[in-house]
Every structure is written in C-alpha cells, then in structure tokens.
Structure 1
Amino acid sequence: MYAVYSLCLANLRKKKVHNGLIGLLILLSTLLLATSVTVILNTNNLFTEMHNKTHGSHEILTLGDELHDPQKVYQWWKGQEGVTTSELIPFRALSGFTNKGKESPVGLSSLYLYMMDTPARPYAVDELIFAQGNESLKPEKGTIWLSTAIAYLYDISVGDTLEFTTGEKNFELEVSAVVVDMPYGSPFPTTVRIWMNHQDYSEQFDAMQGKDQYMMGLRFDDYSQSTSYWEQFEKDMGTPFLDSKMSFESMSAFYLIMNKVIGFIMIFLGIVMMLVALFTIGFTISDDILSNYKTIGVIKALGLSSRRMIGTYVTQYGLIAMVAIIPGLIASQWISSVIVESALSSLKTGVMMASLEGNLITFAVGIFVFILVVLCVLVYSNKARLVQPMQAIRYGMSESNTITMTKRFNARGNNIISFGRAPILVVIGLRNILKNRKASLLMMLLATIMSAVLVLGFVLLNSISSIKQTSPLWGYDDSDIILTITNKSAFSREEFDKTILTDQRIDNIGWIGALNGVVSPERNVNSEHSSVQPMYFQIDIMDGSYDEAGFTTLRGENPRNKDEIAIGIKVSQQLNIDVGDVVETYIEGYKHTLTVTGIYQSIANMSYSARITTAVIKVNHPDYNNLDLAAFLNLRDNRDSDYVVNELNEKYKGSLSAIKQQTLLDNTYKQAAASLILPMSIMGLLFTGVTIIIVYSISRINIRKESKTYGIYKSIGLTSTKIRLSVSLGTVAISAIGAVLGIFVGVYFLPLILGSILSNYGIAEAPLVLNWGGIIAFACVTMISAGFGSWASSRVVAKASPQILVIE
C-alpha cells in the first residue's frame, strides 16, 4: 500500500500543471452538469411554489354581457365542489401609459391594460404578493398596484406617477406597491393588470363609453378534472362557454420556456463536456502508460502487482476528482441562482430570490461524475496489466508494437506521399498531427464541440435580435406599423380609413380583433377525426388580407372566404385535422361549418388559435363592424415609418396609438435576448477555456514525447519560434476541420434537438436567422483558442537548450 501511495504522490508532484488542468476540466464538467440540472429543477419548483403560495388560478375567465350573464356564470362555478373561485372583478381596457417625470420606453405605450376595480384582500384565488411598498387591503385613493413583470422590465418603482388616457381625458395615479400577479406577470408581457382604488375606478370610467367587463379565476382541487366540469357547464347552460378563457398552460408557458431552453442546452452540452473530459483522462492515462512503459515494467519486475499499479491511477485521479468536484458544485449553485433569477425575475419579491432547492440532486450529480471518472480510470489503466516486464525492459514497449513500428519505418521509403519538397514548417506540423493520431482526433472533436456551442449561441441570439425578419414564422404579422385604438368613443374608423387610404405613402391596412371559439367532440363533422374533449381557442378575425399583413402558414394558405379557417398547429394536432378537413365551430353563439385552408405556428398562444375573416361573422351579423381595436398598416416605402408614426400619434392624440412593428417586437423580446446572453456566454467561455486547457495539455504531452526530436532540430539551426509555429499551425489546421464540422452541428443538428422543446410551445419549425459572417467569425474563435493553447504549451521548447532536450 505504501508503494501505491508513493507512486501516486510522485505522479501528483511531477505533473502539477497537467494534473491541475485535468482537475479544472472535471470542475467545469461538474459545474455545467450541476447547473443545468439545478436550473431545470428550480424553474418548475419556484413557479409551482409561487403558484401554490398565491392560490394561483388554473383558468381565467373574461366575461362581457353579450354572450353570457357574468353573474349567472359566477354563481354556477361558485356552487361547484372541488373548485375555488375568485370574486367577479369589474375592469375596463385601456392602451398604454407613460411614466411621468421619467423617459418612458416605447414599449409602455403598446401595452394592453386591464384597469381592475380592486376588491379588498385577501383573495381566495390569485392572491397578490407584495414585492415593494406597504401591504394593504386595497390601494389608497390616487394610487395603484403594478405588476412586477412591468415594474422590473421598465424600471418603475414605488412613488412613480403613471399617466393614463381614456381618449377623452388623461389621469394620473401613483404607484404605491409592486405586486406579483401570477396570471399576468410572466416574462415578455403584452397585457397587464393595473389594480385601482374603487373610487378612482368609478370617477374615471363611469362616464366612459361602454360597459364593464368582468374577470374571475378558477382553481381546481384536481386540475386534470377540469374537462368534466366544462362538460357539465355545457349541459347546464345549454351552450359551451363562448367568452374568453385563459388556461394554466398559457399562463405558465412564458414563465418556463426560457429556462427550459437554457437548461436543455446546458444539460446536453454538459454531458458532451463530461464525455470529452473522460476521453481526455483516458487519453492521458494511455499515453502515460506508453511513455513510461519501461518504468512500469521495471516496477512490476520488482514485485508490484498489476492491481496495485491500477490502484495508483485510481487513487491519483480519484483525489483530483474529489478536489475538483466540490468547488464545481458550490459554483453551480451561484450560477444557477443567477440564471433562474434572471429568467424568473417577475417572481422576485425581495433582494434575493428564495434559496434554490435540489441540493441532494446536485450532490448526486457530483457522486455521478466521481463514479464516471473512477470507472474511466479503471478501464484505461487496465492496460497496465498488459505490460510484460521483459518486453518493457528490452524494447520500451510491447513486442507487437515494436514489430508494427519496424514495419512502418521500412515502409516509409515506398510511401507515395513525400514531404521532401514541402516547407519545413508544414512538414513538422503535419508530422506532429499524423504521428499523434489519437491526440489529433481529440483536438478535432473538441474543436467541433466548441465551434457548435459558439455557433448555436450566436444563432439563437441573432435570431431573437432579428425577429423582425422571421416574425411571421413566430405567428406574428410582418406589417410596418401597428395601430391601437385607445378611445373608441373619440375614434371614427370610417373617417380614418377614408383619410389614411388617400395618403400616397400607405399601401394597405387591415383591421383585426379576437373572439373565442369552441369545438366539441360531437360537433366535429368527420367522425374519424373526433376530439376527445371540447376545445377552446382564440380566433383572430380580420377585415383585410392576412397575406398583406404578413401572416404566413406552414401548410396551405390563409382564409379568404366566409367558409374558410386556418388553425394553429396545436389545434390541428389535438383535433387530428389537416388542410381540407371540415370542422364545426361555435363563434359568438352561432355554429359555423368551416373548411381548414391552412396550418400555422404561433408562440403567442402556443398555436391554440385560429384565423377567420369578417365574412364568417357577417353571415349572422351583416352589419358587424367591431374591429376598431387594432390595425396593421403597410407603407410603400418602410423608410417613412418614423414620419408616419409621429404624424398619426400627433393627429389622433387621445384616440389612437401608432408604433413601429420593429419597436414592438424589440420591446417584447429584448427580455428573451437578455435571458439568453448570460447562460450562453457562460457556456461559450467554459468551452473556450476547456479547449485551451485540453489543447495545452495534449500538446505538452506530445512535446515531451518529441523532446529529443525538437532538440535535434534546434541543434541543426532551426529556431525555437519556427518549431513552435509549426506545431501551432498543425493544431490550427486540425481544429479548422473541427470548426467546419461544428458549424454544421451548431446550425443544423443542435437546433433540431432544441425544436423538441419549442414544439411544446406551438413552434414546429424553429425560425432561425443565419448570419454566415458571424457564424464563421465565431467558428474562427475555436481555431484561435486551439492555436493559443498549442503555442503556450510549446514554450518549453524555447526555454530549454538543445542539449537538455536531447538528453530528455
């Protein structure tokens, strides 16, 4: 046992740099794996914990008085066992606000606001958690409560004064508290609830045209049974629920999507990095056995058994792994908290988010990594059993390897490929690659992985930053300007259309609204395509052309006639229908038999939606003209966008808000880009560091084996710089091959894997924007990193004299 301890200690002392690099590699692998598991686990846990803490709703119903009697619906749900209901809360809808006294981001003016007539707390469903300000039963007069999703994103704090407009008048309210509002507090907010004092609500909206709408939340004791409740609702009411309903899946989607994407990428790449680490350890052990073949033979001849020789390697790398894994696990907790807090910032209620859970699982990851390292060492160090003392002492290698090498030397004279006329730098570089094939393969594999990681990160960030180019593939329009009506009573659509279409800069305009549609199993025309349960989804209705507005489809085309409908891919999957099928849908209480003309994808509502034209509604409502809430405006020259937006906002101030679509998309998705930057940067830096470390370690091993050769080169006049340059050029050449392969993996293969997550959110084909200049530039970082690692490791050639090198 003392011999094993002595050999292990000698190896640790003799190869301090090399052992340190291996330890760092294990640390980084542990860090990435533990971080990915912690992020995935805590994203769900923190959301679920907050949802339970607030008694969060599973469904939010929005009711008017045209389709259902709100009181009647409320009383029906109130009487259901196993369901907790919130109060029936009145609200009015407005568009946008400004932060008085501060520079207001453009995104604030594009928000859709639910101005709530706040009942007294506590609430049975969707309780509000106070993040800033003094907790109270309801807002004081002249004040409001604002959601954390908006407050944190737009830097609004307690004491700020916000200005709202009804179109007829403006009014100001002070933020007295910032609250976690679960149903409308997710990242990428476009709709927000503003909690008002009852007296303020009455003063501002009693004289406003229109009627109150109502909102109520439902929390099921067993959410999986919600379908049976809705079936009973249809039987008792004699009609499906025809107003708007938001499901738990829609509420939770944007809370979870970013961290699921990040966690998935990290765990996939963490596994890859772990495999690279194990392969590097295996390569190092194999090389060490070959390099010290004679020494091992002498030691075995002196009586040290093969089992104890293997134990030397296990002890050595086991100690290195233990020292490396512990700081990796500790660091993973800090990085995980930063990533989770960044993506779930809207749930933050204090200076720091609640401590992360899953310490046992994180510890299990550390144990798993340690076991993998030990098993890898056992497998590769088992080669020490094959060392025969007599062969080792005589040949310095096994007899079979000696015969192979002799044949190789004898065959060189007949080799067709000759480097006799090639530049000396090329010859040395290529010789280093060809002679150390396993090392070259490892460096090429590493370059492939690093290049793929960097390219994937760049492609994702570039795709989100350039979302304007692919907005139709995300389910959005591709128009130049978005118009939102802030005051219907002060706005005349007929006069606006007449004025706007005489403007030579305007190409076309399309007005859009949204309704609720219902499909029940027995109402599906094709029995073979029957659905298993009633399906509720949003239906967009347009007076104009979907194609002109820029909406696109995956298959088929957008609807144009009164008997046509295009459906989201999730609706298509759940109802098992495709282009050409016929479906019967209830819209505003009327049954419509519609032919599916197209299938599209949309992330906004997870593709649980559909598209129709106003011709469908006008079958039952010939005078239907309730689409003056929003419009898409296209210009003949989009360079006029800024001028047209400014003119419209000035001319129709108080009744209409105009904003460039580019600005709206940037404000909506800048949070997604911000959430991706940190984790992708961490992974990019980790893989860059790992590449430099491994290339440095491998090159150092190769140089040590070739020290005598390099000593001869220097003795005959070749400078150290030329030798180092030739070795580095060979490494750059092999890493260039890996970088090319990495581009293919990062652009085509990894996005396919990522698509499996996006498909759960209604995106069947990930819309990527490929900037090949940036892709090639990031791939070149791989070659630079490999070249730097190789150049740094060859410093020993410059420091040592030819005599010392030859002696070594």
Structure 2
Amino acid sequence: MFYKSILKGNFKEKKFLSVVLLLMTLILTSLFSTAIHLHLESKKFLLESYSASQQPEVLVAVENNQYKSNFAEKLVNNSKIKTSYVQEYYTGNFVDQVKDKEVVFFSPNSNRDFKREDLKKLNGNEVLIPQSLKKVYGLKLNQTITLKPGKSFQKFKIKGFFDDPIFSSSLAGQKRILVSSSKFNSFSSHYPQNGMAKYKLISGYLSNHHQIAKTTPKVLKSLGNLPSSAIDYSFANIESNLMLIPSVFIILLLTLSLFILISILIMLWYLITVTIDDNKLEMSILLSQGFTRLKVILNYLVKSVSIILTGTIIGIVIGYFSYVFLSGYLSNVTGVSWGGQNELFSTITIGLLIAAALIIVCVIGFLKALRVGPIIQIMQQSTESHKNFHFKLATISPKRLNFTLGVNKFIGQFKKTGTLFSIVSLLTFLMVVILGFASLFNSTSGALSVLGAPDGDLVLLAKNSSAQLSNVATQISKGTHPTYVSKADQMMVNINGQKTTVDILEHFNKSTKLLQGSYPTNQNEILLTKKMAQSLHKKVGAQIELKYRGVKKKYQITGFYQSINNNGLSAKMSISGFQRLNSNFSPSQVVINFKKYDEAKINKLIKKFDNVDNVNVQNGRATYISGINYVRLILQAMLLFILIITIVLTCMLLSMLVKLTLIQEVKEFNTLKMIGYSNFRIRHILLYRFLSVIVLGQLIGITFGVLIGSPLGSLLMNSVGLSAVRLVPPFGMVTIICLGILLLGSISVAVSQRK
C-alpha cells in the first residue's frame, strides 16, 4: 500500500523523471567505460598487438656481414631481455606504377609470430601481404603483384592478408611480406649474387614496457661499435609513437567524459529538486499519517537506486559493445589489431563506480526532503509566510519594491533556465575545441606544422663504411641543387642521468622548428626538445652534462626545438660537439633537403643511386609522413567519435532539460490560462525563452572556445612536447552544427509543450 500511494498522481511526469534518471546513468556509464577503457588500454594495445607473448618486443636488425654469433646471447646477458630468437630476412621492393615500396621477405616457417597452419601452406610464388599494403594499394585476394627481390622482377600471387605490427615495421619503414619456404630458400641459395641485402633480426621480449628506457643503452652496448647504418633498432619508436596517441586525443575523450559528468551531475541535482518539489505534498501527507522521514526518503532512494542500477547494467552492455565497435573500426582503419584482455571486467568495474557516485549524489540530494514537515505544519508555515510577505510589502518603498521584484524575477528565471544555459555553454565550448583540433590534423601539412618536419627529404645510409657517402651526395647535389646537405647520425647518450637519443648533424637544418633560443654555433652547445628541457628542469643558457662510454662533458643549451621522436625526449648537436665525447666518431648518414619536395624526383634519385655499393638511399620524408598519416587516421577516427558523442548528448540533455523545466512550471501554465492566455501565446513565450537561452549559451560557448580553447590546446600540446599552436575552429562547421542543435531544440520545445 505504501508504494502504491507514492505512485499515485501525475503518472506521466513520474514516468518521465524515471526515464531521465535511467538515460543519464546509461549515458554516463557507457561513455565513461569506453573513454577510460581506451585510455587505460591504448598503450598496451598498440605495444602488444603484434607480440605473440603479449610483452614488449625488442627488434634489432643487423647486416649479415656485421652479425656475430654471440649477439643474441649478449642481449640476454647484458640487458633485461628475457628471451631472444634470431631470424633471417631479405630486403626487396613492392613495385607499383607510381612508386616502389621497400619490403622485407620473411619465411612463415622461421617466423615465430606466424604459426597458424594456413601460413605453412604457401607454395612457390604465393605470398601473404600486410593489411596496410592492402589498404594503400587496394590489393585483393588472389591478385598477382610484382615484387623485386634483389635485381630481378618476379610475379607473386596474394594468398592472404595479416595484421602487420606497425612499430616492428620501423625497420626503415619497411613492410613484411611472407613468402613460401621454397622461395625463401631460393633467396638463400642465390645470395649474394642476386643483389639482395640480408639481415639477421634479433627479437627479444621485456616483462613490461617501463623497461624500455633502461634496456636501450644496454642493447646498444651489447652490439659493440657497429656503424648505425648496419643496425635497425626499433622499440625507441614504439614508445614515442605510442605516447602521442593517448597523450592528446584520449585526453580529449576523457575531457568530454568529464564535461558530461559535470553536466549530468548538475542535471541530476536539478532532477532531485524537481522530484522533491513535485512530491512535497505527498510526502507531507505520509508524514501526517505516521510514516517516519527515513521511511519516506528510503522509498525514493530505493526507486532511484533501482533505476540507476538498471541504467548501469544497460550502460555496461552499451559501453562494452561501443568499445568493441570502436576498436574494430580502428583496426579496420589502421590495419592493426586493437584488442586486449578483461574488457568486460573493466567495463563492469567502471560502471559500478559511476553507479556508486550517482547514488551518493542522490542520497545527498534527497536529504533535502528531511526539511519537509507534516501537512498541517506546511499549511501553518504557508499562512505565516503569507502574513510576513504582506507586512514587508507595506513597509518598503516603491523603488525598492520594484528592484526587489526584478531581482527575484531574474533569480527565478535563472533557476529555471540556468542549468540549460550552463550545459549548452559547456558542450558548445568543448565542440569548438574539438573542431579546432580536427582542423589542425585535417591535412598532412597541418599535421607536420604540429608534429614537426623531418630533417631530410632524402637520406643516404652507409651500409659498411662511409667511403661512398660524400661521392653520392656530391653527385646528387650537382643535378638537383638542394637547399641543405649535412652528414648525420644518431647515438644514445646519457644527459644528466637520462638516456637520450641525440641527432648528430654537420649543419643544422634551418627548417627545424625552434620554439625558443637559437641554433648551436660551436662544439660546446646543444639543442634540446622542449619536453626534454622540461623533464630536466633546464632553461636556455643552462649547462647540462653528457656522458658517453665513460666520457663526460659539459654543454650549454642554446634553444628548444619541436620533435615527437623518442617521446619528445631527444637532442641535436654538431659532429664536432659529439667528437668531444668520442674522438673516433664518423657519421654514417647524409641528409638532403630540397626547396620543393617532389616525390617523383626523389624516387628517380633513389632508383639511380640505390645500387651504388655500400650506400642505401631512402625517401626520408615519405617514411616520416607515412607514420604521420597513420597517426592522423587514428586521430580523425577518435575526433569523429568524440564529436558525434558531443552532438548527440547535447541534443539529448537539451530535450531532457526542456521537459523537466516544463514539468516544474505546470502550475504557472494553468495560472496563465486562467487569466486569458491562449495555448499559442504560452507556447510562443516558452519557445522564445528556451531558444534565447540556447542561442546565448552557444554564443558564450563559442566565445570561450575561441578565447580559451587556444591556450588550453597549447597547454595540452606543450604537455606532450609539441609546439604551441593556435586552434582555429572551422566557423562554417561550427555554425552549421549550432543551427542544427537549435533546430532540434525548437522541435523538442514544441513537442514537449504539446504533451
């Protein structure tokens, strides 16, 4: 009987309030579970997606003639690598009408990453192709393609596709192609006459990715004094690229979740207030009949908790499948498997935590009902309040009365529409910031302006010695007139106790984006990335200590530059500067920049000079941009996902708030009708009030998005070592979305009024 008495009255209103609470819980649970789950798992997914043992993998490729039989044993003994195994691979090219793509040939029988039975059925000239090549070149099953292993062109038939590990393919940006055992053996039997380059790939595993930084110098030490061109060491790139994705755009998703959490908590408090006001009379009657306050409040709490738990269960299901859908979409876009373990358990845990938070807010909110008294007490308080009001009215001046009535009217209107205004402003602000980020990464050139450009369009590598480097660089320079030619290399050094990759250059490329300071002019100076300087707490002009193989030297910081390599923790110095640490050092690379990047021209140079003995010519910009474009694909997918969520939630919350406000003002509508207002006039007044609040909220959100969005975006960029860039949202798109939301708001108000 007790619960039946509570459910009497305006059933439609009570049903709507229940639905609102259910939807709020569902939205918050599903959104937060997806956002937090992505945040917690994204690094692990990308880091472990290619590893059969689900552990971070170390990949070291060494030229066959430089390889020593004890290298793998040294890696295990001198570092934290748990196990290791050695594979052979040969280099070649995938031949396309536009350009050639460097690839590496593996045998599936010798490759421990691929042990499925179907991979062992490759025969003759049958191959397995990575998904990334399939997407770029539109390849199909059973299609015949041309590959160039060594000097000869050969036809191969595609028998299947596989998920290629994006960062293990950092072997000079090459992609793996799996060939049959018989074909791989023919490569071996005709090597080196077939002109193929042969490498030994040492693969090892770490127990967790936190060991990467400590393992790097130990691995390099194990390899001795090999020239850097003879080694391809991969997992420094793993860490740097992994950090970029969650550092910026998962943060945006979490920021959206936080905004939604704030909006829904505001709305939940408003909903509780409406519920208490709407049921105050019923509560008073129950108290007059002998029910305790605790029992009355407990009834509403039980109802609210049951609704929240129902919404949580539905939200967990939606959140789980949303994550499965999003990870599948990212896998399809990038050609890399996104997957992990315990997704459902994590989603359930997040859902229960959110449910607990909402229940706590409900408990605190319903404590307001403790002030509700029995019906007789309420009538006495109402009579007393009425007498006091008339007494005060007779004692104040007309001017003060008008001012007081005006203030009270403003406060009353703000209480009714302030929640709507706040939520529209918050979500519009977030939408403007998201579109500002989207505009930055809408093109490759925009992404390069944020992430930084490579040092060279063309990179020459000395395979065994640097004897031919200068000769090839001179020949290229005579016919092309490059703007920048510099000998270069990369070494791992210790800077103030922190292991860091240092780019060593003969001349500094003026296209390197300086964020502060100037380029080094002598051998005692060094450039740091901004994030590196922040981690060391150093400013321009400060002294730092570099240590390499026991030799220590002091260097002065001349400036900061922008880079995402090695997680933004890197440095640049001159060749003479590094020779202070190692007098026998000789660079094994040459980087060349041109005034205007011409890919066709670059590819011609590669074909012309790549067969020169001891020199490997690479398109440095293309390799760098392919990585940038991969990051852009992920960012665009996530931004689209975030933007859609923002727009949908804005419309849903807008509709709910309009309905809640109308429920609270039913008595006012009846009063207006009694004094002669028509339904049309009442609807016109309400439509004007709500739409003016929505428009004002959007204008405030856009204004703050433009004024505050750029500093916030710069702060976020600086936190991951990128340059401070101005976020300029596409105002055409912002206007279209705002008008669309305004139209939906108008429809929502019109429909709600008719009900």
Residues 22-61 of structure 1 mapped to structure 2, 5 A cutoff: 22-43=21-42, 46=45, 50=49, 53-54=52-53, 58-61=57-60
Q: 2:306 aligned to 316, 319, 323, which one? A: 319
Q: 1:300 aligned to 261, 282, 287, which one? A: 287
CA distance in 1, matches of 2:94, 2:461: 10
User: Quick check: 371-380 or 208-217, which moved more?
Assistant: 208-217
User: Quick check: 358-367 or 81-90, which moved more?
Assistant: 81-90
Q: Report the secondary structure of 1:611's partner residue.
A: strand
Residues 422-571 of structure 1 mapped to structure 2, 5 A cutoff: 434-466=411-443, 468-469=445-446, 471-477=448-454, 482-483=457-458, 492-501=472-481, 509-511=483-485, 515-520=489-494, 530-531=496-497, 535=499, 537=501, 539=503, 541=505, 545-547=508-510, 550-559=511-520, 561=522, 564-569=525-530, 571=532
Q: CA deviation at 1:373?
A: 3.2
Q: TM-score, normalised by structure 1?
A: 0.74
Q: Report the secondary structure of 1:770's partner residue.
A: coil
Q: CA deviation at 1:737?
A: 5.7
Q: Report the secondary structure of 1:53's partner residue.
A: coil
Residue-by-residue CA offset, 1:510-531 (whole Å, 9 max, x unaligned): 24675231324xxx7xxxxx41
Q: CA deviation at 1:214?
A: 4.0
2:48 touches 2:54 (CA, 8 Å); kept in 1?
A: no
Residue-by-residue CA offset, 1:60-94 (whole Å, 9 max, x unaligned): 2243589x7644534533666964222163544x6
Residue-by-residue CA offset, 1:192-222 (whole Å, 9 max, x unaligned): 3445543564589735779645432232468
Q: CA deviation at 1:335?
A: 0.7
Q: Does 1:383 align with 2:368?
A: yes
CA distance in 2, matches of 1:222, 1:296: 58
Q: Report the secondary structure of 1:159's partner residue.
A: coil
Amino acid at match of 1:317: S
CA distance in 2, matches of 1:606, 1:469: 20
1:562 touches 1:615 (CA, 8 Å); kept in 2?
A: yes
Q: Does 1:290 align with 2:277?
A: yes
Q: 1:726 aligned to 688, 691, 705, which one? A: 688
Describe the shift of the 1:199–1:298 C-alpha distance in structure 2 as closer, same or farther (beyond 3 A): closer
Describe the shift of the 1:391–1:118 C-alpha distance in structure 2 as closer, same or farther (beyond 3 A): same
Residue-by-residue CA offset, 1:96-130 (whole Å, 9 max, x unaligned): 74457xxx7xxx75x6x35246484253xxx2366
Describe the shift of the 1:284–1:398 C-alpha distance in structure 2 as closer, same or farther (beyond 3 A): farther
- 1:795 alignment partner in structure 2: 753
Describe the shift of the 1:593–1:176 C-alpha distance in structure 2 as closer, same or farther (beyond 3 A): farther
Describe the shift of the 1:625–1:322 C-alpha distance in structure 2 as closer, same or farther (beyond 3 A): closer
Residues 345-364 of structure 1 mapped to structure 2, 5 A cutoff: 357-364=342-349
- 2:612 alignment partner in structure 1: none
Residue-by-residue CA offset, 1:437-460 (whole Å, 9 max, x unaligned): 223221122112211331232122
Q: 2:167 aligned to 176, 180, 184, which one? A: 184
CA distance in 1, matches of 2:423, 2:88: 58
CA distance in 2, matches of 1:163, 1:410: 98
Q: Does 1:219 align with 2:205?
A: yes
2:545 touches 2:552 (CA, 8 Å); kept in 1?
A: no
Q: Does 1:609 align with 2:579?
A: no
Q: CA deviation at 1:331?
A: 0.9
- 1:597 alignment partner in structure 2: 558
Q: Report the secondary structure of 2:567's partner residue.
A: coil
Q: CA deviation at 1:7?
A: 0.6
1:42 touches 1:357 (CA, 8 Å); kept in 2?
A: no
Q: CA deviation at 1:468?
A: 1.8
CA distance in 2, matches of 1:28, 1:222: 34
Q: Report the secondary structure of 2:59's partner residue.
A: strand
Q: Report the secondary structure of 1:128's partner residue.
A: coil
User: Quick check: 296-305 or 658-667, which moved more?
Assistant: 658-667
CA distance in 2, matches of 1:183, 1:328: 33
- 2:641 alignment partner in structure 1: 679
For structure 1, the 5+ residue unaligned runs are: 421-426, 502-507, 525-529, 636-640, 800-808
Amino acid at match of 1:19: S
CA distance in 2, matches of 1:85, 1:182: 18
Residue-by-residue CA offset, 1:6-64 (whole Å, 9 max, x unaligned): 31465655433343233222211121122223333443565576465347554222435
Amino acid at match of 1:323: T
Q: Report the secondary structure of 1:599's partner residue.
A: strand
Amino acid at match of 1:510: Y
Describe the shift of the 1:21–1:678 C-alpha distance in structure 2 as closer, same or farther (beyond 3 A): same
- 1:135 alignment partner in structure 2: 119
Q: Report the secondary structure of 1:465's partner residue.
A: coil
Describe the shift of the 1:714–1:384 C-alpha distance in structure 2 as closer, same or farther (beyond 3 A): same
CA distance in 2, matches of 1:86, 1:409: 95
- 1:76 alignment partner in structure 2: 74
Describe the shift of the 1:400–1:348 C-alpha distance in structure 2 as closer, same or farther (beyond 3 A): farther
Residue-by-residue CA offset, 1:643-671 (whole Å, 9 max, x unaligned): x5556657886558889989868744441
CA distance in 2, matches of 1:443, 1:788: 14
Q: Report the secondary structure of 2:441's partner residue.
A: helix
- 2:729 alignment partner in structure 1: 771
Describe the shift of the 1:413–1:20 C-alpha distance in structure 2 as closer, same or farther (beyond 3 A): farther
2:564 touches 2:722 (CA, 8 Å); kept in 1?
A: no
CA distance in 1, matches of 2:724, 2:527: 20
2:454 touches 2:621 (CA, 8 Å); kept in 1?
A: no
CA distance in 1, matches of 2:379, 2:491: 86
Q: Report the secondary structure of 2:74's partner residue.
A: helix
Q: TM-score, normalised by structure 2?
A: 0.79
2:517 touches 2:560 (CA, 8 Å); kept in 1?
A: yes
Q: Report the secondary structure of 1:795's partner residue.
A: helix
Amino acid at match of 2:125: G
Describe the shift of the 1:407–1:195 C-alpha distance in structure 2 as closer, same or farther (beyond 3 A): farther
- 1:115 alignment partner in structure 2: 104
For structure 2, the 5+ residue unaligned runs are: 610-616
The percent of aligned pairs where both chains have the same amino acid is: 15
Describe the shift of the 1:654–1:90 C-alpha distance in structure 2 as closer, same or farther (beyond 3 A): same
2:267 touches 2:657 (CA, 8 Å); kept in 1?
A: no
Describe the shift of the 1:213–1:397 C-alpha distance in structure 2 as closer, same or farther (beyond 3 A): farther
Q: Report the secondary structure of 1:317's partner residue.
A: helix
Q: CA deviation at 1:336?
A: 0.5
Residues 328-343 of structure 1 mapped to structure 2, 5 A cutoff: 328-343=315-330
Q: Report the secondary structure of 1:537's partner residue.
A: strand
User: Quick check: 257-266 or 276-285, which moved more?
Assistant: 257-266
1:159 touches 1:174 (CA, 8 Å); kept in 2?
A: yes
Q: Report the secondary structure of 2:566's partner residue.
A: coil
CA distance in 1, matches of 2:137, 2:156: 17
Describe the shift of the 1:445–1:190 C-alpha distance in structure 2 as closer, same or farther (beyond 3 A): farther
Amino acid at match of 1:377: C
Q: CA deviation at 1:540?
A: 5.3
CA distance in 2, matches of 1:673, 1:192: 22
- 1:802 alignment partner in structure 2: none
Q: Does 1:279 align with 2:279?
A: no
- 2:614 alignment partner in structure 1: none
Residue-by-residue CA offset, 1:556-575 (whole Å, 9 max, x unaligned): 23345555432334554666
Q: CA deviation at 1:330?
A: 0.9
Residues 224-235 of structure 1 mapped to structure 2, 5 A cutoff: none
- 2:738 alignment partner in structure 1: 780
Amino acid at match of 1:121: S
- 1:806 alignment partner in structure 2: none
Amino acid at match of 2:118: N
2:62 touches 2:199 (CA, 8 Å); kept in 1?
A: yes
CA distance in 2, matches of 1:264, 1:567: 26
Q: CA deviation at 1:168?
A: 6.6
